[in-house]
Amino acid sequence: MSATVQQLQQTQHVQQVQLEMAADLLRRGERMSLCVRGSSMLPSLFPGDVLTFRQCSPSEIVVGDIVLFLREGRCFIHRVAERKAVGGDSRILTRGDALPACDAPVGETEVLGRLMAVERKGWRLPPPRLGPVRSLVAGVVRHSPWAARALVAAQQRFWPQAEPFPKR
């Protein structure tokens, strides 16, 4: 086996262990923070945003919430698009705001946590809702990789850095 393959396997193992530890923290009732790396939730969440999650009961999850779940050894952060019953079992349909289709149904027990806060450039923000303006921008981003790149560049350039609190 080549050194590159071994390094990749080690990296994947470390990531899997980190995900399992994160899931365990949430199951114990702790809060957990993650940094956004992807763009599937544009324009609601941007790369570099730090997200804080907490565990919640399945009955607390409503359409519009942003949830964290694990699937195939990967972490996903998507918005709840629909709740439905499948053969007496409740399922949640999720979708990234910038994605064209919903994910495969997620069992309520697969959801690790619900988004509680977003930290962006030092600002602490509530979980973003998908209103008419964000829906329109998400539709544009969904169909144009150029628009997604331009939106991220604009956000990085024009979103103000929070001022530190003055010391007393």
Domain residue ranges of the chain, discontinuous segments joined by + = 9-158
Q: pLDDT tens for residues 4-41?
A: 777 767 777 777 777 778 778 888 888 999 999 999 99
Q: What is the predicted pLDDT for the residue at 151?
A: 94
pLDDT at site 158: 87
- Strand (E) or helix (H) holding 116: strand 111-120
Using alpha carbons, select from 43, 36, 37 the residue that is nearest to residue 142. Answer: 43
CATH number listed for the domain at residues 9-158:
2.10.109.10
Integer Cα distance of 97 and 102 in angstroms: 10
| Contact of 12 with 5, CB cutoff 8 Å | no
What band does 67 get if pLDDT is binned at 50, 70 and 90? very high
Q: Where do we find the tokens 């979103």?
A: 159
Instruction: Kindly report the backbone phi and psi dihedral angles of residue 3, in degrees, each rounded to the nearest multiple of 5, phi listed first.
Output: -60, -35
Contact present, 94 and 81 (Cβ < 8 Å):
yes
